[in-house]
């Protein structure tokens, strides 16, 4: 079994990069980490997360110790310890004179962060990069991603769209976990430099997301002169009665006017008052705020001002906008009380990305393996639907179409993670297959390969139904016994003979949050039945350690 880059174990390295040996009187003379049996069951991985936004850029380094549950006769590994090694300051994302992100200066920031953490790219087993907000829209976003990959090591580059950013923020802020615990309906409001992302969360599930063109750094100022102004910032300024442009003088009162206007527009949206002005600010389909909300959670850089954890002015609209929203909350102008946030400006930073290997294939459908394998960095989408005694293929198809529409990786290959429960009776499997064919009809019509991953041991039978009865002619690979989730990436290896199994490497997003009550839950990376993000922000999947759910 292999993990990461083939070096499944590292000596203990502290945050300063120093090696340590631990000697204990009751241990044998041979160090434990040299014991081949111990090394087979224990793996240490080092990871990095890079978050590049329209306002801020930040990195976080982590070390994770994984242990195989050998007593369960399984190849499943769980994270038994997670250590935060280094979190960089939140740097202002560097822009050039042409208002493009300066990739060279960005590279310098990364180099400095690695130097401060005393880490080299070669020491990193895994990681993730995300471009958010205005950074994602920049014409040089591919060049940015290339610079990051060259400087930071072998990373997954997740170039998220508005919907994915909104979901990530809801998990990162703790809104999803709080909603799950209290079975409540919460609204997460993530206000960054260029956009505001909204995520409606019900009973621990993100049910609707949207983005609105309000942000804290749409206008930047130095010594009373505009040094950066986004098209959205100029529109807000004009509506506030001020004709601002690059290099034009600007007063504090004018900036106050723009921030007050933006706060008012956001309040109108939150209170369901759709006006002609606010309609033109949606970057996605509008989100309808329900009449009952149990609470609001703020995240993003502006949230630091809403919660009063930051008071400094960084020459933009952030302090003013956050202050207006804080006063609105204190005055009862929001549709629900403001709840604490687990993370604010760091809500969407990807704390780590885990690797492990699981063999799948005992009952898998592999008739196109020569064309579908191997695959690296295959993004995962996991739609949500309900399976009863009778499977509703139409409802399942609608869920697949709606959920896959949130993922903006384009028309490339995608692993669709499917939940399965109940008896594998023919009529249920047939309806399940019909739901897949209807829900993925556009991908089928385009001749794309289908990668399906299901929880139950039904892959071989499902494959026969799709092939022989429902006429699917596309290249088709179905693996079972695995549970994936949104934002995972998977590497699929070649079929191993004579077992006919497929090595599956799962890279899961892990956030930097622990259960406030001290819940010692662990991250179950891969298993024959499930895999969960534990010791994080609760993706709503059972975790090991005797807890139904740590979220």
- Same domain for 252 and 115: no
Within 13 Å of residue 34, how many CA atoms lie on the same side as its CB? Answer: 8
Could you give the number of structural domains in the chain? Answer: 3
Q: Is the pTM of this model over 0.75?
A: no
Range 498-512 average pLDDT: 58
- Position 434 scores a pLDDT of 97
Does residue 5 belong to any structural domain of this protein? Answer: no
Distance from the first to the final alpha carbon of the chain:
31
> Is pLDDT of 544 > 90?
no
Task: Residue 125: give its domain's CATH number.
Answer: 3.30.420.40
Q: Could you tell me the pLDDT band of residue 279, with boundaries at 50, 70 and 90?
A: confident
What's the gap between Cα 523 and its chain centre?
16
Please say which residue of 126, 161, 196 terminates a domain. Answer: 161
| CB neighbour list of residue 522: distance below 8 Å, 6 or more residues apart | 78, 79, 80, 534, 535, 543, 544, 545
Average pLDDT, integer, range 509-534: 28
Structural domain includes residue 544:
no
Pairing outcome for strands 415-418 and 375-381: parallel
- Map tokens 């393996």 to a residue: 369
User: How confident is the model over 30-82, as pLDDT tens digits?
Assistant: 565 555 556 556 667 777 777 787 778 888 787 777 665 554 444 445 566 66
Shared-domain flag, residues 268 and 178: yes
- Under a CB-based contact definition with an 8 Å cutoff, are residues 218 and 193 in contact? yes
- What is the predicted pLDDT for the residue at 477? 94
Classify residue 346: in a domain, yes or no. no
152 and 194 housed in the same domain: no
CA distances from 1 to 4, 77, 313, 434 (A): 11, 12, 52, 36
Question: Which candidate, 5, 8, 3, 2, places its Cα nearest to that of 121?
Answer: 5
Indicate if 150 and 190 belong to the same structural domain: no
Question: pLDDT-derived band of residue 198, with 50, 70 and 90 as boundaries?
Answer: very high
CA atoms within 13 A on the CB side of 148: 26
Q: How do strand 42-52 and strand 126-131 relate by DSSP bridges?
A: parallel
How far apart are the C-alpha atoms of 144 and 106, rounded to whole Å? 8
pLDDT at position 497 is 65
Is the same domain home to 324 and 200? yes
Same domain for 492 and 383, yes or no, is yes
227 and 324 housed in the same domain: yes
Query: What's the pLDDT tens digit per position in 306-334?
Result: 999 999 998 999 999 999 999 999 999 99
Considering the domain boundaries, does residue 63 fall inside one? Answer: yes
Q: What is the pLDDT of residues 128-177, one digit of tens each?
A: 677 766 666 666 666 776 777 677 665 555 555 678 778 878 887 889 88
In a domain, 299, yes or no: yes
| CATH number of 275's domain | 3.30.420
145 and 180 in a common domain: no
pLDDT at residue 317, as a whole number: 94
Residues 358-387, mean pLDDT to the nearest whole number: 79
Whether the per-residue pLDDT at 339 is higher than 90: the answer is yes
- Choice between 529 and 504, residue whose per-residue pLDDT is larger: 504
Same domain, 156 and 188: no
Q: Is the pLDDT score of 369 beyond 80?
A: yes
Q: What is the pLDDT of residue 78?
A: 55
Looking at the structure, tell me whether residues 300 and 388 fall in a common domain. Answer: no
Last residue of a domain, one of 500, 519, 539: 500
Domain span including residue 277: 174-330
pLDDT at 67: 66
Res. 432 pLDDT band, cuts 50 70 90: very high
**In this structure, are 254 and 276 located in the same domain?**
yes
Q: How confident is the prediction for the chain on average, in pLDDT?
A: 75
In-domain check, residue 210 = yes
pLDDT for the residue numbered 185: 96
Whether 446 has a pLDDT exceeding 70, the answer reads yes
User: Rounded to an integer, what distance in angstroms lies between the CA atom of residue 99 and that of residue 96?
Assistant: 5
Of 7-16, 49-58, 430-439, 479-488, the poorest mean pLDDT is in 7-16
* Residue where one domain finishes, among candidates 161, 184, 201: 161
| Continuous segment of H or E residues that includes residue 130 | strand 126-131
Does 508 reside within a domain?
A: no
| Whether residue 324 sits in one domain with residue 189 | yes
DSSP alpha helix (H) spans, 331-389: 369-372
Residue 67, in any domain of the structure: yes
């Amino acid at each position: 079994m292999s993990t990461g880059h083939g070096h499944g174990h590292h000596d203990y390295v502290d945050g300063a990069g120093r090696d340590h040996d631990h000697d204990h009187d009751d241990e044998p003379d041979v160090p434990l980490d040299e014991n081949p049996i111990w090394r087979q069951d224990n793996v240490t991985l080092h990871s990095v997360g890079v978050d590049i936004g329209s306002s801020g850029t930040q990195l976080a380094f982590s070390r994770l110790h994984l242990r195989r549950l050998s007593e369960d006769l399984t190849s499943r590994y769980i994270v038994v310890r997670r250590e935060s090694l280094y979190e960089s300051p939140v740097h202002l994302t560097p822009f050039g004179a042409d208002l493009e992100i300066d990739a060279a200066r960005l590279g310098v920031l990364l180099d400095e962060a690695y130097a401060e953490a005393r880490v080299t790219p070669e020491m990193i087993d895994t990681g993730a990069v995300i471009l958010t907000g205005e950074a994602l829209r920049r014409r040089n976003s591919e060049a940015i991603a290339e610079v990051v990959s060259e400087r930071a090591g072998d990373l997954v580059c997740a170039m998220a769209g508005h919907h994915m950013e909104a979901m990530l923020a809801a998990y990162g802020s703790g809104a999803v976990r709080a909603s799950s615990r209290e079975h409540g309906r919460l609204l997460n409001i993530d206000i960054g430099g260029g956009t505001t992302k909204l995520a409606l969360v019900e009973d621990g599930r993100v049910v609707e997301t949207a983005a609105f063109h309000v942000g804290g750094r749409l206008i930047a100022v130095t010594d009373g002169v505009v040094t950066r102004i986004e098209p959205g910032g100029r529109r807000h300024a004009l509506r506030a009665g001020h004709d601002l442009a690059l290099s034009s003088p600007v007063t504090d009162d004018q900036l106050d006017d723009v921030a007050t206007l933006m706060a008012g527009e956001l309040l109108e949206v939150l209170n369901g008052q759709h006006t002609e002005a606010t309609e033109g600010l949606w970057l996605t389909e509008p989100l309808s705020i329900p009449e009952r909300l149990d609470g609001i959670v703020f995240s993003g850089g502006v949230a630091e001002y809403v919660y009063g954890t930051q008071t400094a002015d960084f020459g933009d609209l952030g302090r003013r906008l956050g202050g207006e929203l804080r006063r609105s909350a204190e005055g009862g102008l929001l549709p629900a009380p403001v709840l604490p946030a687990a993370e604010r400006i760091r809500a969407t930073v990807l704390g780590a990305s885990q690797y492990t290997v699981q063999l799948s294939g005992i009952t898998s459908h592999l008739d196109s393996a020569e064309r579908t394998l191997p695959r690296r960095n295959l993004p995962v989408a996991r739609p949500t639907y309900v399976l009863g005694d009778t499977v509703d293929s139409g409802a399942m198809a609608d869920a697949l179409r709606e959920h896959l529409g949130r993922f903006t990786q384009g028309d490339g290959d995608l692993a669709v993670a499917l939940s399965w429960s109940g008896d594998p009776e023919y009529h249920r499997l047939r309806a399940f297959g019909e739901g897949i064919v209807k829900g993925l009809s556009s991908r089928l019509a385009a001749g794309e390969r289908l990668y399906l991953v299901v929880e139950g041991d039904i892959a071989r039978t499902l494959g026969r139904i799709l092939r022989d009865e429902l006429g699917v002619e596309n290249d088709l690979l179905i693996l079972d016994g695995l549970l994936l989730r949104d934002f995972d990436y998977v590497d699929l290896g070649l079929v191993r003979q004579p077992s006919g199994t497929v090595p599956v490497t799962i890279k899961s997003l892990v956030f930097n949050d622990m259960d406030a009550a001290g819940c010692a839950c662990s991250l179950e990376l891969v298993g024959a039945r499930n895999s969960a993000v534990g010791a994080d922000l609760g993706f709503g999947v059972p975790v090991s350690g005797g807890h139904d759910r740590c979220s």
